[in-house]
Amino acid sequence: MTGPAGAPRGDRVAEAMRAVPRTGFLREHERRRAAEDQPLPIGRGQTSSQPSTVARMLRELDPPRGARVLDVGSGSGWTTALLAHLVGEDGVVVGVELEPELAVWGGANVEATGQPWATVELARPGVLGVPDGGPYDRILVSAEAQELPAALVAQLAVGGRMVIPVRGEMLTVDRRGPAPDDVAVRRHGAYRFVPLR
Ligand SMILES: C[S@@+](CC[C@H](N)C(=O)[O-])C[C@H]1O[C@@H](n2cnc3c(N)ncnc32)[C@H](O)[C@@H]1O
């Protein structure tokens, strides 16, 4: 039996996707398309990522309850709200978004889910992520980098994990020790994303 995006029932990510439906994070005229396994426009040239890709990334990230999570490129706020559901009220989710209009709209969408342990911030000029809020147990990045950003590895706790698309490939990055290059990287094949700017 399958749930949203073909996910097996009983897994935490499928449950989160049922509890926090994509519909509440789409523009009104796109809502009838919420069930399509496609990226959908959210304005400012950005997209709500394909649900099966979101599910894959969240499964790979595997945020435990109570974790402190950074969501880079929070856009509509959907991933931020899904992460909030996964970590529960003892956790913290910091969404960060570069486009001011999306940061406001996405933040309101997250607020409407009644999970006050998740918030959205506007990215500060020239600053990647939210260094002041770190270190994070998990970092999700929904925009494609050209190389693994050292600034985000630096915000990852030792033992923490980041899922990020780099040059068209999805990577899982586990930080093993305090040295910035002490990471283990696994690759999961080709994915397309809007660019990380
Ligand atoms: C695929 S879209 C949105 C996906 C989002 N997680 C969602 O659920 O709707 C990626 C977002 O990353 C944002 N972005 C790109 N570079 C960024 C950066 N350096 N810091 C924060 N957000 C960034 C874009 O403006 C865009 O809204």
Catalogue all structural domains in the chain, each as residue range(s) with its CATH number: 60-190 (3.40.50.150)
Distance CA 98, CA 87 (A): 24
pLDDT mean by block of 10 residues, the chain; 197 residues: 49 96 98 97 95 97 98 98 98 98 98 98 97 97 97 98 97 96 94 91
Distance CA 8, CA 23 (A): 21
Predicted pLDDT of residue 10: 57
Q: What pTM, to 2 d.p., does this model score?
A: 0.95
Residues with C-beta less than 6 Å from any ligand 1 atom: 42, 46-49, 72-76, 78-79, 96-99, 102, 123, 128, 142-143, 193-194, 196-197
Predicted pLDDT of residue 180: 86
8 Å CB contact between 102 and 25: no
Closest atom of ligand 1 to 96 CA is 21
Predicted pLDDT of residue 8: 55
